[in-house]
Amino acid sequence: MNAEQILFIVFGGISLVGAVSVISFRHPIYSALALIVTFFAQAGLFVLLGAHFVAAAQVIVYAGAIMVLFLFVIMLLNLGTLSASGSIVGKLKGVAIVLGLLLAAEGIYIAVNALNETAVASAQPTAAPVTTYQIGELLFSKYLLPFEVTSLILLAALIGVIVLVKRDGPDTD
């Protein structure tokens, strides 16, 4: 058992435990914190896979920006007390778990059989990490248009959010 395997088990285990914690904690604050843990563990997995840029982005965008937003809203609405009780929709619980298990089984089946796909099987895995330079080159050449569209999506989201939460009427303070 080499270092990579050990690290994979560690990060993978943390992220799984984190994920299960997210859906298990009654209080949203705890869920949010568990989610941050999961994100960090995943960033570690990305490093293991040699994707340093993605790992950095994961920490900055997810664990940083998005999670701050979650926490901010939870605290703004003061949800802890409101939804402390009955956090699970009882009737659906059994159905949901059965469905989830089926889905997981199918996912694992796909994963195990992934190497049988010719395109995947014939590939030559490289250990060399992908550099930021390579990603940037792709982004600004082959994927330039989607990249620019992304900025439009962000702009639209920006405007949408302002419109959604803006108070109606002239009595703004």
Partner 1 sequence: MSLGLIVVLLISPFAGFLINGLFGKWLKGKEKLSGWISALAVFVSFACSIIAFTSVRGGGGMSGDEGILYEWIKGESFAFNIGFHVDALTTVMLLVITGVGFIIHVYSIGYMHGDSGYTRYFAYLNLFVFAMLILVLGNNYLMMFVGWEGVGLCSYLLIGFWYEKQSATDAGKKAFIVNRIGDFGFLLGMFTLFAAFGSLDFTTIFDSADAGNFQQIFGASTLVIATLLLFVGAVGKSAQIPLYVWLPDAMEGPTPVSALIHAATMVTAGVYMIARSAVLYELAETGEVVAWIGVLTAFFAATIALAQNDIKRILAYSTVSQLGYMFVGVGVGAYASGIFHLVTHAFFKGLMFLTAGSVMHAMANELDMRKMGGLRAKMPITHWTFLVGAMAIAGVPFLSGFWSKDEILHSAWAISPVIYGIGLITAFLTAFYMFRLIFVTFYGESRVESGVASHLHESPPVMWVPLAILAIPSALIGLLLGWGGHNSWFHHFTEHVFPKAHGEASGNMLVFMGISSVVGLAGIAFAWIRYRERVPAAEPTHALHKLVANKYYIDEVYNAVIVQPIKNGSHYLLWRILDTGIIDGIVNGVAAAIRLIGGTLRRLQTGLVQAYIVSMVVGIVLFLAYYLFVR
Partner 2 sequence: MGLEYYLILSALLFTTGVIGVLIRRNAIIIFMCIELMLNAANLAFVAISRHLGETTGQVFVFFVMTVAAAEVAIGLAIIVSVFKHRQTVNVDEVNSLKG
| Interface residue list for partner 1 (CB under 8 A) | 89, 92, 95-96, 99, 102-103, 106, 109-110
Please state the φ and ψ torsions of residue 130, each to the nearest 5 degrees. -80, 130
Is residue 22 within 8 A of residue 38, CB to CB? The reply is: yes
In 3D space, the residue among 11, 19, 92 whose CA is nearest the CA of residue 47 turns out to be 11
**DSSP tag of 130:** B
β-sheet bridge partners, residue 26: none
Query: Which parts of 11-50 interact with partner 2 (CB under 8 A)?
Result: 12, 15-16, 19-20, 22-23, 28, 31-32, 35, 38-39, 42, 45-46, 48-50
Would you say 61 or 98 has its CB closer to partner 1?
A: 98
Residue 77 burial by Cβ neighbours in a 10 Å radius (0-12, 13-18, 19+): exposed
Is residue 73 within 8 A of residue 151, CB to CB? The reply is: no
Binding flag, residue 139, partner 2 (CB under 8 A): yes
Extract the tokens encoding 105: 């089984």
Give the residue, chosen from 44, 56, 89, 171, that forms a contact with partner 2 under the rule CB under 8 A.
89
Residue 139 binding result from partner 1, partner 2, none, given CB thresholds of 5 to 8 Å by partner type: partner 2
Give the residue, chosen from 14, 56, 57, 169, that forms a contact with partner 2 under the rule CB under 8 A.
57
Give the residue, chosen from 56, 115, 172, 173, that forms a contact with partner 2 under the rule CB under 8 A.
115
Binding flag, residue 62, partner 2 (CB under 8 A): yes
